[in-house]
Amino acid sequence: MIASVARLFGTDGVRGRANDQLTPELALRLASAAVSVLGADANSRPRVVVGRDPRASGELLEAALCAGLAAAGADAIRVGVVPTPAVAFLTADYGADFGVMISASHNPMPDNGIKFFGAGGHKLADDVEDAIEAAMDAPAERPTGADVGRLRDAPDAEERYLRHLAASVDARLDGLTIVVDGANGAASTVGPHAYEAAGATVIAIHSDPDGLNINDGCGSTHLDVLQAAVLEHGADLGLAHDGDADRCLAVDSTGAVVDGDMIMAILAIDMHERGELTDNVLVATVMSNLGLHIAMREAGIEVKVTGVGDRYVLEELRAGGYALGGEQSGHIVIPAAGTTGDGVLTGLMLAGRVASTGTRLADLAAVVTVLPQELINVPVSDKHAVAVADTVQDAVRVAEAELDGSGRILLRPSGTEQLVRVMVEAGTADDARGIAERVAAVVAAV
């Protein structure tokens, strides 16, 4: 088998094991190349917002990135540990030429990542990322003397972001008790502060990051502790973020999980009722459950489908001028309030719907009847080559024939890890699991 040539950039920036695949040398080169591409049209010395999540390797990579920015003649505005959507917002709020977030999102602690935002806080198009990658090997003159870039800290960054959140959501949360799982990540402080400022009584868990415990058995990828805490405290709901807080998943008062599809349905109906859902359209990815499509159709809302990744949701939102989109994983994008997925903003809006209607989250989420779904992540050596292998594609065709329109199968390489994801929806959980396991076994054997 011939290995495929992968781009340095994945679906959400550059990721890898910190100080192994993702080295400080690579970070420095990336930063300098980004200045040459994203700072090329700056009227004066380029200004760059730099933020990170609390994982230990973020300190190392922040130092390397800032060195690369300064070496290329750009000034770095260090905003410290903040959510990814805060970096996007602050890039626009400070009038910076671009922003950089150091985070591997929901990935385990040894991993890290570097993602860029263009002017205004927008994610980069593929061709811009390709230009940065090409510029990494291009010769460049380095400035000297007064032209070398400078570094400064921004002590008001978190407060600016909190003010932005408060201004974006007018609903009050008075009377609600909310358990908030910060994943020992970037939302550990800002999340509870935002919900408390809106009037909620907050019980914070996994909000003590030490650089090593981010996403460790907690957050949006490990909801069992949050479920138990909601029941223990008799809370109205629980909200779980991932390491960089661009995701939000929820738990209702009965301890049941409310996933991104259900959250999108709740928010879409809310915005539809208030006349704020542009063209009555919700944007979702191919990973969203068929149950979401059925619920939206019954509510008079059209679902436009994109590829996997919030960047593709964003592209569709911007192209159509739509008001709401997201992913089953909890990335929810509301363009009127931000340029990227924002977990804390999503949590505020979801809790606001509970408070304003006086309706339990369980009852709001019941609008979506979820078709049984099985997702198996298969570790492989070359995810792109394996996904298109003849034996794998034959297995997919057999599965589609077996489902015969009563469900669906989706097979795709992960955008951030060396995995092939096999997802099956079927009429019963046993059917979904059986088909997924058979296809996954073929994938693993390639």
Known catalytic residues are 105
Distance CA 327, CA 321 (A): 18
The residues, ordered by sequence, that sit 6+ positions from 224 with a Cβ below 8 Å of its Cβ are none
Tell me the two tokens of residue 267: 């928010």
Distance CA 425, CA 417 (A): 23
> Which stretches within 202-258 are classed as H helix?
224-233
For residue 105, say whether it is annotated as part of any ligand binding site: yes
Angle between the 343-357 and 260-273 helix axes, to the nearest 10 degrees? 60
Distance CA 53, CA 83 (A): 7
DSSP category for residue 420:
E
Distance CA 426, CA 400 (A): 10
List own/partner pairs for 363-366 with CB under 8 A and 24 or more apart: 364/266, 365/252, 365/256, 365/258, 365/262, 365/265, 365/266
Measure the CA angle with vertex 333, ends 285 and 294; round to 5°.
45
Exposed / middle / buried, residue 263 (Cβ in 10 Å: 0-12, 13-18, 19+): buried
Angle between the 24-38 and 126-135 helix axes, to the nearest 10 degrees? 120
Distance CA 50, CA 99 (A): 6
Distance CA 5, CA 8 (A): 9
φ, ψ dihedrals at 212, nearest 5°: -115, -20
Say how far residue 344 (Cα) sits from the centre of its chain: 12
For residue 242, say whether it is annotated as part of any ligand binding site: yes
The residues, ordered by sequence, that sit 6+ positions from 319 with a Cβ below 8 Å of its Cβ are none
Question: Quick one: CA dihedral 290, 292, 298, 301, positive or negative?
Answer: negative
Binding residues, by number, are: 105, 242, 244, 246
Known binding-site positions for Mg(2+): 105, 242, 244, 246
